[in-house]
Amino acid sequence: QVQLVESGGGLVQAGGSLRLSCAASGRTFESYAMAWFRQAPGQEREFVATIDRTGGSATHADSAKGRFTISRDNDKNMAYLQMNSLKAEDTAVYYCEARCGLRGTSAGVYDYWGQGTQVTVSS
C-alpha cells in the first residue's frame, strides 16, 4: 500500500510555471507506475501524464505535451510535474496517482491517489 501527498499548487498568472510534488510513503515506491490527473469543476478527471516504475518512459496528454514534464526520484519516493507556459484552461485540482505495475492513461486503472492540490491560472 502507498499513501500520496501532493503539494506545490497555487495561483499563477498565465504564462507562468509551477512544480507539483507528490510524496509517497512506503518502501516499495519503485514498484508503482505514477501519474498525474486533473479535475476541473463540473468535469471528469482528465489524464495529464504518466511515468513508468524506473522513470525511463513517460507519456503526456496532448494538452500537456511541450509544456508539462513528469519525473520521479525513486531514492526520495517523490514524483513531480513541472508545468510551464500555464494557461487558464489548466486550472484544476491536480491528483497524483499510483498503480502497482504498468502505467496507463485511464484514471480507473490506478489504485491510490492523494487529496489533490489546487492550481489556478489567471488570465
Q: Per-residue confidence of the chain (123 residues) as pLDDT tens digits? A: 899 999 999 999 999 999 999 999 987 999 999 999 999 999 999 999 999 999 999 999 999 999 999 999 999 999 999 999 999 999 999 999 999 988 899 988 999 999 999 999 999
Who contacts 92 (Cβ-Cβ below 8 Å, separation ≥6)? 38, 39, 40, 43, 46, 118, 119
Distances (CA, A) of 108 to 2, 45, 47, 51, 105: 17, 10, 11, 16, 9
Q: What is the pLDDT of residue 110?
A: 94
Distance of CA 86 to the CA centre of its chain: 15
Q: What is the pLDDT of residue 1?
A: 85
Question: Whole-angstrom distance between the N-terminal and C-terminal Cα of the chain?
Answer: 40
Q: What is the pLDDT of residue 46?
A: 97
Closest to 64 (Cα-Cα) out of 48, 81, 86, 76? 48
Distances (CA, A) of 93 to 38, 46, 55: 5, 10, 24
Q: What is the pLDDT of residue 41?
A: 93
